[in-house]
Each structure stands twice: as C-alpha cells, then as structure tokens.
Amino acid sequence: MFKKYNINKLCVMNFNKEIIVRIFNRMNQKTTSLKLTSEPSSPFNTVGIIGAGLMGQSIAKIHLENGISVFLADKNLEVLSSAVKNLSEYVSDKNRLHPIHQQEEWNGFRKCNLVIEAVPEEYKIKSNVLKNIGPHLQESAILATNTSSIALQRLVKNVEQPEKFAAFHFCHPIEERELIEVVALEKTDPDRIQKLIDHAHFLKKRPLNVGNSPGFVVNRLLAFYMNETMELVLDGVEFDLLEQAASEFGMPMGPLSQLDSLGIDIGVRVGQNLFWTYPSRMIPSELLVRMYKAGLLGKKTGEGFFKYNEQGINIGRSEKTDKLIIERLRPKKEYSLEEIQNRLFLPWVVEASILLEENIICDSEQIDEALFHGLGFSHSAGGILKWADGIGMDEIVRRLRNLESLGERYQPTNYILKLAEANQLFQSNFQSNAA
C-alpha cells in the first residue's frame, strides 16, 4: 500500500513547502516513487520535443507508442529526417508526427500542452532554445528540460515565464529504464509539477520528485562511478576485471561498456558540468577528452573503449584507445575484486549521504529505487545503501578511512559518522525520522 507521510516531517527539498503541501494534498496519499494502482490518464494530448537526436527520438517514441501526438524539432535537417524515418514505424496515424525544421515554424508548438527540450548537454545550446521558445508556448503549457547535469538555476534565467519551467529527466536508455526525475524550482507552478507526475505514470514510468541539484540523483551518482572507473583504468586495472567487478556487484553491465553505450561525448559533457559543481570530489578525465577529440565515441561511432561491428556487438578492445591509455598509464597496481568494488561504490555511499544531508532526496529507500529504475542496478543486489547497512556503518567508516588519502570523495561525511556513532543504519535512520 502507499505510505502516508506527516507533511510536517517531510523533507522540503529545494523548493518551498507550499509546493510540497499542494502536491501531496492532490496526490491523495500516493508517493511519487510508486506506480499507480489504477490506469492513469495523461493531462497532455500533444507534446513538443526540441532535439531529434537519440534522446529526443526516444522521448518521441514513447509518446507516440502511448497515442500522444508529437511535434519534433531540430535545426539539422539530416538529423530530423533520420528521426522521422526511424519513428514512422511507431505511428499508425501519420498525422500524429509533425517534423519542424526552421525556427520560424515553432508556432506549431502552440498546439502542445508540454514542450520538452532535449538538445545536446551544452549550456549555450540549451539556453538559446529556452530563450526563443517562450513566445511559441500556449499559456497553460509546461516547458520541461531533459538536462542531466546543468544547474537549473542557470537555465531558468533564460525562461520568460519561470512558473512554467521544470526538469523532466528521462534515464538512458529510455526503453529499459522506468525512472523519470521530476524537479521543480522555487517559482515552478505546483499544478504543473503534478501534471508531470501524472504524465510519467501514464507513460508507464516511475516519477521521482527530487530536489534541485546538478545531476539530480541518478547522474550525480553515475558521474562519481565513472570518475573512479577512469582512475582505475589509469592505474592499469584490466578491462575484464573492471567489468566483472561492477557486474557482480549489481550493475547491468561493466562501466566501460556503459560509457560506450551512453556515448563518450555525453560522458565528457556531463562530467565537465558536474566537475564545475563538485570540484573537490571529482577528477577531470583527460583520457575521455582525448577519446572525444579522436572521435572514439563508443557504439555510435563503432569504437570507444571497445570496437563494435555493424550490429553493435563488442568485438574486442580498441587499439586506438589502448594507445591513448598507455600514454597516460601510471605505475601498475594490483587490485583484488573487492578492492575494485570498494573504489567504485564507496563514493556512492558518501554521495548518497550528502544527498540525504542536502534534502535532495528524502530517504535511503528512494536512493536505492533510483538506482534500480534509473541505472538498472540489480534488485537482487539489494541497493547500495542496503549493502552499506548490511556491512555496518563502522565497517563503512573503516573502508573509507583506508582510502581517504585518495581525496574528499572517500572522506566519511558527518551523516555517516553520526550513524556509526549511534550504531544506526541508513534505513533505521529514515524510519525514525519518518515516524
């Protein structure tokens, strides 16, 4: 059954309490991380999507599959034409897919209840779209960004009517990941947030209403995991061992395969954006930048850390990337499987505790839910914070102290130290706060 929260003890995240009160009053005891028990309906019948790349196409596809008309825009005619061709098989009624090439045609967005910005993860590109779309929106429309790493405070400065603006972040790959992160700012209309939550349910997704922080929950944790992966590669850890360590811990695939699937270009953009926000806990990867400049972007170009055939099947390591690694390789270190797992996943425990301290998310269960449904972390593995609870806070502190010399990302936070001192767990601490 759905949990009933005491609104006075509910974390308010990074927007005002009035929004929380109004959302929860209208939600009638359903939480935003759970699916509805009855068949939901969407408040939108027509959706606009700006950006026809892989993410924009995927967002368009899920709407078309659910019977919602789509206006799809991209200034690159080749990209737009390719997207329309790929999407045409999902449209029984060809009149439900409307391509828009020139900005002069953006008046078509006046027919849309919801417009989602899904252009590349670069501030200059996104800010230009947000500046220019305002006059083409209907009065009751919602303008949502699919950003995964750029601060919403920066983006909203480009929005004509900030009450219309929110984040509606789909997780990659959309076809496999159920989570959508829904994020409001201080001026966001709470009724619009409720509509986004309802719409996510209609799309058969799991909306998670989180606080405003670059990377939100999923990409913030993913960035630290990928950051540590690059450090271990430069320490000479074999690819197979890295992939095995992550997969056995509960990830759906190894981190290098995941980077190749996501795209090295996206990894670089997201990493740069988050480094500017968390410079003391992240290490910029010069290796990824060199791969990006060399056009080694992963599956999309047929070569990243691995090489891929025309069917996208891994056919072995990339000699070009190996050369780039050898040029930067440190004196090789020997790691056990457990040591690699500690390096990859202890920063998650640290960052999760910071998310809880900052009230970006309300409880440890929601963090594990975000990993299950946003990253494909195995349910059988139990979740990162259930893993931490299983070995105990004293042991977490001991393992972090052993790695503390590597930097702030391995320093136990006050949150973790207080749990250890009180002999509490992440889960028991949430239960005592929610009671």
**Distance separating alpha carbons of residues 153 and 273, to the nearest angstrom:** 13
Contact between residue 330 and residue 236 where contact means Cβ atoms under 8 Å apart: yes
- The secondary element (H helix, E strand) that includes residue 26 is helix 17-27
Q: Are residues 85 and 169 in the same domain?
A: yes
pLDDT of the residue at 429: 63
- Across residues 413-432, what is the average pLDDT? 86
Average pLDDT over residues 76-84: 95
**Within this chain, do residues 139 and 286 fall inside the same structural domain, yes or no?**
no
What value does the mean pLDDT of the chain take?
A: 89
pLDDT of the residue at 393: 97
Which CATH number goes with the domain that contains 378? Answer: 1.10.1040.50
Residue 355 falls inside a structural domain: yes
Cα–Cα distance measured from residue 392 to residue 389, given in angstroms and rounded to the nearest whole number: 5
376's tokens:
């494909």
Cα-based torsion angle of the residue sequence 204, 186, 132, 203 in order, rounded to the nearest 10 degrees: 0
Q: Which of 291, 298, 277, 308 is nearest to 234 (CA)?
A: 291
Which of 26, 59, 22 shows the shortest CA–CA distance to 44?
Answer: 59
Structure tokens at 57: 């196409």
**Per-residue pLDDT at 412:** 98
The answer, yes or no, to whether residue 407 has pLDDT greater than 60, is yes
Share of residues in the chain with pLDDT > 90 (%): 83
Other Cβ atoms within 10 Å of 10 Cβ, number = 16
Which token pair is 384?
């990162």
Residue 23 in this model has a pLDDT that exceeds 50: no
Residue 1 lies inside a defined structural domain of this protein: no
The yes-or-no verdict on residue 379 having pLDDT over 80 is yes
Asked, for residue 119, whether it belongs to a domain, the answer is yes
Cβ pair 378, 252 in contact under 8 A? yes
Is residue 334 exposed (0-12), middle (13-18) or buried (19+ Cβ within 10 Å)? exposed
Domain containing 352 equals 337-434
Under DSSP, the state recorded for 331 is: S
Q: Are 211 and 359 in contact (CB under 8 A)?
A: yes
User: 317: which strand partners?
Assistant: 306
Assess if residue 289 is contained within a domain.
Answer: yes
Convert the pLDDT of each residue in 188-199 to its tens digit: 999 999 999 999
CA dihedral 251, 388, 351, 286 (to 10 degrees): -50
Cα angle value 273/354/378 (rounded, 5°)? 85
In this structure, is residue 365 part of a structural domain?
Answer: yes
Backbone angles phi, psi at 99, to 5 degrees: -75, 140
Sign, CA torsion 240/243/247/250: positive
Contact 297, 263 (CB under 8 A): yes
Q: What are residue 99's DSSP bridge partners?
A: 72
Which one of 159, 182, 209 terminates a domain? 209
What are 274-284's pLDDT values in tens digits? 999 999 999 99
The burial class, CB within 10 Å (0-12 / 13-18 / 19+), for 39 is: exposed
Residues 157 and 182 reside in one and the same domain: yes
In this structure, the answer to whether residues 185 and 286 fall within a common structural domain is no
**The last residue of a domain, from among 154, 179, 209:** 209
CA–CA dist 277, 271 (Å, integer) = 10
Average pLDDT over residues 306-324: 97
Residue 105 is predicted with a pLDDT of: 87
pLDDT exceeds 70 at position 397: yes
pTM for this predicted structure: 0.89
- Report how many domains make up the chain: 3
170 and 48 in one domain?
yes
The answer to whether the CB of 85 falls within 8 A of the CB of 91 is no
237 and 144 within one domain? no
Query: Could you please report the per-residue DSSP string of 197-248?
Result: HHHHHHTT-EEEE----TTTTHHHHHHHHHHHHHHHHHTT--HHHHHHHHHH
- Six-digit token string for 3: 């949990």
State whether 198 and 54 are in the same domain: yes
Which residues have CB under 8 Å from 368's CB, separation 6+? 377, 382, 383, 384, 385, 386
375 and 266 in one domain?
no
Helices and strands, number each (H, E), in the chain? 18, 10
- Is 2 within the bounds of a domain? no
Same domain for 249 and 341: no
DSSP 298: B
Q: Are 389 and 343 in the same domain? A: yes
Q: Are residues 197 and 259 both part of a single domain? A: no
Query: How many other C-beta atoms lie within 10 A of the C-beta of residue 129?
Result: 22
User: Do 40 and 140 fall into the same domain?
Assistant: yes
Does 18 have pLDDT greater than 50?
A: no
Q: Look up tokens 């850890």; give the residue.
A: 237
Quote the distance between the C-alpha of residue 286 and its chain's center: 23
The domain boundary residue, chosen from 161, 188, 209: 209
Residue 13 belongs to some domain of the structure: yes
332 inside domain: no
Q: What is the CATH number of the domain that holds 133?
A: 3.40.50.720
Rounded to an integer, what distance in angstroms lies between the CA atom of residue 292 and that of residue 382?
35
Residue 321 Cα to chain centre, angstroms: 26
